[in-house]
Structure 1
């Protein structure tokens, strides 16, 4: 297998948040092989930069030339470069390449990361293909005081025109508000805007670096700058949402979150296939199937759950055939708004350590069996349920239990109401507990 190759030219962040080492991880999770030329080594953690050891310009040149002579590099992300000597090396070795520049003028703690800003503008900006400043950086480089969207567009156009940069993308997160946007102005004189919900999350170290690297990776794969902009913005949003609360300061974003969640969903599918095999091969499981049929809801790790798209169910339910044979309605799907999925989501949002929930037939023998194997149970009076919109019943049950009892036992049952079948709902921490508990139950009843 041959991957496309991208290069990062940046400093090393010893806290693994925003430097070249994190750029390599971004390249990797986006399917590009990353190579690295190091400009500096920082002594850094989540609270800030303690010191910087610069790489001599000639050694930086040796790194770049060594990589270029061996790899077909289709895009280069430029992060921290410190002084005129390093700037000139970049120009001499890389002019004409697809160069995405993240102008890291200052670190989050205020440490200056580009010493000779005038030389930086004179040497680096004219060879840049895509410039990705935030509001503060765009203002410093353009001289435009940015206070609103019109100012962003003005600064964007000015930077593009003065330095003949084909694409300038200004990230609008520093403007504040609940809704933010990034704006790109292009050599085709187009303005392209991407809006997104602003996330009030502390742990945002590495956002600028990750965005520029993701843009580079997506361009390498697609050769379409608009598409790369869109995909990089989507990538960044999820890395911020799941920011890592590490260290005592501003923790890093979670670069690996997308592949982590995909991996967890694959594990959920495997678990549910195992559960289906258990269900279809247990001769007594039909005793647990209610008239409305059954379904299993299984989530990824609860701390990563955000909505129903993180919860799997069987598309066609678990049904009892005329001959008491139990059939599982494969495949596993995510985001299916079943009662079991909604209740599991409500449990997780209450902080319950649960990843599995199933609805089963109401029967006093089943309740006694659950009690015998050690599960606490609680009854919900469905007659108390207020009128509300479709899909709110499961949330109401969990809210009712939490507000009135301060706890949510593993067994939640009701004896029904007009138009509502009596039901037992059983949740467990994981699939192994679910299977073993139901095996024990079926041996008893």
Structure 2
């Protein structure tokens, strides 16, 4: 039986901890086929973001068309969208699917990743058509504390500085469980449990000079719910 397809629309992370790298690894761990649309190329490491290069909206649209027309993803998960034009594109093309919006506006490190016009596009165009949004606490405030289906992510209760990519991993896990047919409450609980387990796995790692990555190593145990 073919696995469900989940699409991530997000940026790259050269450190491998967040963005598309985290999303695809999470999808694979949770039994869905991951497709991707690259919206931005970032230069970043465990200490912060050094540079962001947005992909032209026409190229983002071409990638999106290629996936939607051929693979028919059950769910779509967004990460860094980089420009208001891309935010509007996603709202137009993906409103008819399970849509998990991780509004990448403020990094865990405190770095601001989106200008005001992108924040406005999220608030006015994308959040109204989302199945669920997963901002962190800073992003929730930046968006004006929106109501509706919003799950504010806090990174779990594991004492560790290895939490780079936690938000991406959580929203990707949520999208994967929704694609498997779980209702929102069940998918959210399973996503929380997955992130907690991955944080526990990586809590004592020493990778990089800053906030290390949440683990994306995963071997499912027999009978484990996906």
Partner residue of 1:78? Answer: 78
Per mean C-alpha deviation after superposition, the further-off stretch among 87-96 and 15-24 is 87-96
Long gaps (5+) in structure 2: none
Partner residue of 2:43? Answer: 43
| Mapped partners of 2:169, 2:71: distance in 1 | 22
Task: Report if the CA contact (8 A) 1:81-1:113 is conserved.
Answer: no
Higher share in strand:
1
Alpha-carbon deviation of 1:172? Answer: 4.0
CA RMSD in angstroms comes to 1.7
| Mapped partners of 2:175, 2:194: distance in 1 | 12
Partner residue of 2:186? Answer: 227
- 1:213 equivalent in alignment to 2:172: yes
Long gaps (5+) in structure 1: 144-157, 161-166, 174-195, 264-445
| Mapped partners of 2:55, 2:142: distance in 1 | 26
Task: Report if the CA contact (8 A) 1:61-1:93 is conserved.
Answer: no
Task: Report if the CA contact (8 A) 1:4-1:73 is conserved.
Answer: yes
1:186-335 to structure 2, matched below 5 A, reads 198-243=157-202, 244-257=205-218, 259=219, 262=221
Q: 115, 121, 124: which is aligned to 1:122?
A: 124
| Mapped partners of 1:51, 1:212: distance in 2 | 24
Partner residue of 1:134? Answer: 136
- 1:159 equivalent in alignment to 2:161: no
How many corresponding residue pairs? 218
| Mapped partners of 2:47, 2:153: distance in 1 | 23
The DSSP-based 3-state class of the residue aligned with 2:191 is helix
Cα deviation per residue 1:201-226 (whole Å; 9 max; x = unaligned)? Answer: 01100110000000000111124111
| Mapped partners of 1:63, 1:13: distance in 2 | 18
Partner residue of 1:169? Answer: 151
The DSSP-based 3-state class of the residue aligned with 1:99 is strand
The DSSP-based 3-state class of the residue aligned with 1:6 is strand
| Mapped partners of 2:174, 2:24: distance in 1 | 13
Moved over 6 A (4+): none
Higher Cα Rg, which structure = 1
TM-score of the pair, normalised by structure 1: 0.47
Task: Report if the CA contact (8 A) 1:7-1:76 is conserved.
Answer: yes
Alpha-carbon deviation of 1:30? Answer: 0.4
Task: Report if the CA contact (8 A) 1:245-1:252 is conserved.
Answer: no
Task: Report if the CA contact (8 A) 1:6-1:33 is conserved.
Answer: yes
Task: Report if the CA contact (8 A) 2:88-2:121 is conserved.
Answer: no
Alpha-carbon deviation of 1:35? Answer: 0.3
Task: Report if the CA contact (8 A) 1:48-1:108 is conserved.
Answer: no
Q: 1:172 to 1:44 in 2, by over 3 A?
A: closer
Relative contact order higher in (CA < 8 Å, ≥ 6 apart): 2
Cα deviation per residue 1:95-117 (whole Å; 9 max; x = unaligned)? Answer: 22211011111223333222221
The DSSP-based 3-state class of the residue aligned with 2:50 is strand
| Mapped partners of 2:109, 2:99: distance in 1 | 27
Cα deviation per residue 1:297-349 (whole Å; 9 max; x = unaligned)? Answer: xxxxxxxxxxxxxxxxxxxxxxxxxxxxxxxxxxxxxxxxxxxxxxxxxxxxx
